[in-house]
């Protein structure tokens, strides 16, 4: 069955970077876009961007341009999202997701806490 398993919770200081991984199984990794979505406490879902695993081409939301880097390792069917220059506003649960409505699969979420 399709699974997206994310790395564990992180605590970072302001100004630092965080890299979250998303290991996939149960489908052909290179056949589907991989998206990243976050949800800050008390806030809604926010689409951050996507990567095309086959080519590595990325598309980022304007808000995150210059601060986010999405990569992948096709040999281990894993996607990565790195966010730099963290502030307290980046405290959120970060999800990887295969979004092809009506078929969607989500990782379990990774809590990133930014605190001094």
Partner 1 sequence: EIVLTQSPGTLSLSPGERATLSCRASQSISSSYLAWYQHKPGQAPRVLIYGASNRATGIPDRFSGSGSGTDFTLTISRLEPEDFAVYYCQQYGSSPPYTFGQGTKLEIK
- Which of 1, 55, 62, 75 is in the footprint of partner 1 by CB under 8 A? 62
Under 8 Å CB-to-CB from 48, ≥6 apart: which residues? 35, 36, 37, 38, 60, 61, 64, 68, 81, 94
In whole angstroms, the minimum distance from the beta carbon of 16 to partner 1 comes to: 26
Residue 41, SS3? coil
The values of phi and psi at residue 10, to 5°, are -130, 145
Residue 53, SS3? coil
Give residue for tokens 């939301």. 61
- Which of 50, 78, 83, 112 is in the footprint of partner 1 by CB under 8 A? 50
Residue 101, SS3? coil
Closer to partner 1 at the Cβ: 29 or 60?
60
- Which of 90, 95, 110, 112 is in the footprint of partner 1 by CB under 8 A? 95
In whole angstroms, the minimum distance from the beta carbon of 48 to partner 1 comes to: 9
Q: Is 99 a residue that touches partner 1 (CB under 8 A)?
A: yes
Residues that bind partner 1 (CB under 8 A): 35, 37, 44-47, 49-50, 59, 61-62, 95, 97, 99, 101-104, 106, 108-109
């Amino acid at each position: 069955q399709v699974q997206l398993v994310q790395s564990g919770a992180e605590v970072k200081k302001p100004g630092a970077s965080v890299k979250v991984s998303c290991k996939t199984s149960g489908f052909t990794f290179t056949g589907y876009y991989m998206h990243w979505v976050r949800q800050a406490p008390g806030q809604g879902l926010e689409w951050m961007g996507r990567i095309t695993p086959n080519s590595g081409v990325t598309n980022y939301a304007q808000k995150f341009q210059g601060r986010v880097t999405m990569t992948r390792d096709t040999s281990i069917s894993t996607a990565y999202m790195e966010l730099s220059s963290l502030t307290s506003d980046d405290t959120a649960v970060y999800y990887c997701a295969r979004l092809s409505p009506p078929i969607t699969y989500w990782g379990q979420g990774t809590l990133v806490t930014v605190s001094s």
